[in-house]
């Protein structure tokens, strides 16, 4: 074990090391720095990073709300295949326009709702309720239920599995927050939200609920979007 004096000494050695030696050991030094940065990351930093990005999107989100569901979603072309597959695949290819994000959001939720209905029909516990009551259970698998569902519905592509998993995570966030409107915020941070540890969902919600938080306005906005999301889901599901 090392004590503080030894660690401080090591830091000083790095700071005072000649440039030529640092360059010779560049790969080793950068690897250590990357490892230290990961160790020193505070969970709240990750949450704040997501919320800061959302603050920059408030104008866009409010514009969608003002436009209304039909105009914001736009027309959806008929497809012989499951259109939800293409909608989630589109955003996974880094397409970021608002319409594509909305299509993906409703596709994620639709697939998650379908899986939840499958569990209910088979007398199994809701995965969303299970996780909302205990986020630690996110580390447990679904005991093959997901595999059975995917196989029965011909959803062999891994895109479906990932989409349902993210859809469930979105519904869990909605359940804990108490409003479906929060999912519209998620649409603008799909990548970061997908990588966020389940245990940090409560941190996100705490920031949104805290009236003294820099993100309290986002919480108010999220609650005001529930009707948009609910109507949007009905409109989306009715188009295919």
The answer to whether the CB of 201 falls within 8 A of the CB of 172 is yes
pLDDT of res. 37? 56
Helices (H), the chain: 4-16, 19-24, 26-40, 43-55, 58-67, 69-73, 83-92, 98-121, 127-133, 145-152, 158-177, 182-186, 190-195, 201-209, 216-224, 226-237
- 39 pLDDT band (50/70/90 cuts)? low
13: confidence class by pLDDT, cuts 50, 70, 90: confident
Q: Is the pLDDT of residue 125 over 90?
A: yes
Q: Is the pLDDT of residue 228 over 70?
A: yes
Instruction: For 133-165, give one letter per residue: b (16+ CB within 10 A) or e.
Output: eebeebeeebeebbeebbeeeebeeeebbebbb
Residue 40 has pLDDT above 80, yes or no: no
> Count of CB atoms within 10 A of residue 202's CB?
14
SS3 label, residue 212: coil
- Report the alpha-carbon distance of residue 126 to residue 139 in Å, rounded: 16
Structure letter (DSSP) for residue 157: S
Span 97-123, mean pLDDT? 97
Q: Is the pTM of this model over 0.85?
A: no
The helix-helix angle for 58-67 and 216-224 (nearest 10°) equals 20
Domain ranges in the chain are: 1-40, 42-238
pLDDT tens digits, 129-181: 999 999 999 988 766 899 999 999 999 899 999 999 999 999 999 999 999 99
Burial of 107 (C-beta count, 10 Å sphere; 0-12/13-18/19+):
buried
Which are the contacts of 193, defined by CB distance < 8 A and separation ≥ 6? 50, 166, 169, 170, 186
**What tens digit of pLDDT does each residue of 48-94 get?**
999 999 999 999 999 999 999 999 999 988 888 899 999 999 888 77
What gap in Å lies between CA 212 and CA 94, rounded to an integer?
34
Backbone angles phi and psi of 38, in degrees to 5: -65, -40
Average pLDDT of the chain is 91
pLDDT of residue 4: 81
């Amino acid at each position: 074990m090392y004590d503080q004096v030894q660690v401080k000494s090591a830091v000083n050695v790095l700071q005072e090391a000649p440039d030529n030696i640092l360059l010779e050991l560049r790969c080793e030094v950068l690897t250590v720095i990357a490892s230290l940065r990961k160790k020193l990351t505070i969970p709240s930093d990750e949450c704040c990073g997501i919320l800061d990005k959302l603050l920059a999107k408030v104008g866009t989100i409010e514009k969608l709300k003002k436009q209304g569901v039909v105009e914001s979603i736009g027309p959806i072309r008929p497809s012989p295949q499951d259109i939800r597959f293409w909608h989630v695949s589109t955003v996974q290819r880094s397409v970021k326009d608002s319409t594509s994000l909305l299509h993906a959001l409703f596709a994620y939720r639709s697939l998650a709702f379908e899986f939840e209905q499958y569990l209910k029909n088979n007398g199994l516990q809701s995965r969303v309720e299970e996780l909302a009551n205990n986020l630690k259970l996110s580390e447990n698998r679904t005991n093959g239920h997901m595999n059975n569902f995917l196989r029965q519905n011909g959803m062999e592509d891994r895109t479906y599995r990932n989409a349902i998993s993210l859809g469930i995570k979105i519904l869990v966030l909605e359940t804990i927050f108490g409003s479906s409107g929060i999912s519209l915020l998620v649409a603008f941070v799909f990548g970061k939200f997908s990588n966020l540890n389940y245990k940090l969902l409560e941190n996100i919600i705490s920031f949104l609920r805290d009236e003294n938080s820099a993100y309290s306005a986002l919480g108010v906005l999220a609650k005001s979007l529930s009707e948009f999301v609910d109507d949007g889901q009905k409109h989306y599901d009715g188009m295919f």
